[in-house]
Amino acid sequence: MNSKQEMLTYIKENISKYQDDLMELIKIPSVSTDPDFANDVKKAAKWLKSYLEDLDFTATVYETPKHPIVVAESNDVDSAEACKTILIYGHYDVQPSDPDELWETPPFTPTIIGSQMFARGASDMKGQFIATAAAAAAFRKFYPGQIKIKFILEGEEESGSPSLKQFLIDHKDLLQADLALNPDAGMIAKSIPAITLGLRGMVDLELTVSGPDHDLHSGSYGGVIDNPIHVLSTLIDKLHNKDGKIAIPGFYDNVLDLSVEERESINKNPTNEKIILFQTGAPNLWGETGYTVPERTGIRPSLSVNGMYGGYTGEGSKTIIPASATAKITIRLVKNQQPQRIYQLFQEFIDHNIPDTVTWNIEYRSGAKAAKTNPQHLSNKSLVKAISEIWNIEPIYKMEGGSIPVVNQMEDILGVESILTGFGLADDRIHSPNEKLDLECWAMGIEAFALFFVYYCEQK
């Protein structure tokens, strides 16, 4: 048996241990957006340090103004002696679990039903991190001294990564690598693996409309004082035209038209209306006319209201005109759109459309440019070979609708290109109740990552 087959056999024999490790990490509710979970985020960082040290990595927890960053590197080979150095990115923070009443199993008690593990963070992205770490350990066992492997694991991705950029600047030498591997993407379907070539950027905003300086009796003041919820609802309605386009003037100025060849490549992604409706449970599709499902979710911008609140939302009635109303909004950007410019255009749109019966304020929470990687990069070719060997089918290249700011930051600050993949599924319900991880895909993903290290080291 050769080293490659021995490595794959070793992974299969240890899959139960990898599952146990993942379950231990999931049990720590490392919610980065809620201050009540700050100690749990720190606990998760300490757990990661100990876990990586047990895998024979040198690991350090770095404090930041908010949540810690964990950096680790393999100590079996010097960077100068290794054929390559790979920097693996991950985040160990998770989305809040609420509404908890919609979970069918406890969100932070991982529960295995059939081939699925249900828990917050199982897919996004504690499962993806454990997969890379397990693969790295197996690779180093059978190919010692071949590749220098580093990890950078942040605890703020789900809250906009406010500390990451400065950390990359301050630790540029420590994080030098030939390639960044980012497993925070996913597959198209269980039998269709994918490599992500592009990511949409994002602007994250909160728009607050304020009226009276306190809640008013709707009987005494209804009809003479404008209602902030009504105004906010009207503004939101104006943000889109009937054809699904975003109605902000100048919004599409820098959006590039794709060539026929690029659109053909994107549309090799088999995700269609039927699949989207099955995944989401929605009755019908909605969106910008003239574009396919893969185009709408990958290479066209979008604007979503993530939540609205204001006034009374408890049981029964409370007859008031609320003092204010707020909407949380995310705008997904494509290549060439600049977050600050889009933020400016959004401000101008609100200023032009809001009545003088209320005041308004926008909080700019975070922004990130869109990213694109090169399919001809040697690392992509190695990844295609590895995935194809495990799945017996070549992965599809796709454009991802989500945003991962670190991809651009690593390129701009560290000068390192990223490749993006992952083995979560589109129906894993990330960010929603009943998040899950398909353990069969996950196990195959560990093998694919390990083979990728082998084939990437062979590339000259």
Residues 50 and 101 in one domain: yes
User: The tokens of 226 are what?
Assistant: 């404008």
Rounded CA-CA distance 364/343 in Å is: 8
Q: Count how many domains the chain has.
A: 2
Rounded CA-CA distance 240/252 in Å is: 13
Lowest pLDDT segment from 5-9, 66-70, 253-257, 427-431: 253-257
pLDDT, position 135: 98
Residues 363 and 381 in one domain: no
Averaged pLDDT score across all residues of the chain: 93
Q: Per-residue confidence at 87, pLDDT binned at 50, 70, 90?
A: very high
Domain end point (choices 341, 368, 395): 368
Residues 32 and 50 in one domain: yes
pLDDT, position 113: 97
| Number of residues assigned to the chain | 460
- Sequence-distant (≥ 6) Cβ neighbours of residue 125 within 8 angstroms: 90, 91, 183, 184, 422, 424
Residues 188 and 212 in one domain: no
Residues 250 and 351 in one domain: yes
Say if residues 47 and 59 touch (Cβ distance below 8 Å): no
Residues 190 and 102 in one domain: yes
Q: Which residue has the higher pLDDT, 397 or 240?
A: 240
The 10s digit of each residue's pLDDT in 408-419 is 899 999 999 999
CATH number, domain with residue 250: 3.30.70.360
Residue range(s) defining the domain that contains residue 223: 201-255+301-368
Residues 77 and 173 in one domain: yes
Rounded CA-CA distance 88/453 in Å is: 12
Residues 319 and 447 in one domain: no
Flag whether 280 is in a domain.
no
pLDDT over 60 (residue 395)? yes
pLDDT over 90 (residue 458)? no
Residues 50 and 149 in one domain: yes
Say if residues 428 and 354 touch (Cβ distance below 8 Å): no
The 10s digit of each residue's pLDDT in 153-167 is 999 999 888 999 999
CATH number, domain with residue 190: 3.40.630.10
pLDDT over 90 (residue 399)? no
- Sequence-distant (≥ 6) Cβ neighbours of residue 334 within 8 angstroms: 200, 201, 255, 256, 299, 300, 301, 370
φ, ψ at 291 (rounded to 5°):
-135, 145
pLDDT, position 82: 67
Say if residues 413 and 171 touch (Cβ distance below 8 Å): no
pLDDT, position 163: 95
Rounded CA-CA distance 146/76 in Å is: 9
Beta partners for residue 316, in sequence order: none
Residues 119 and 230 in one domain: no
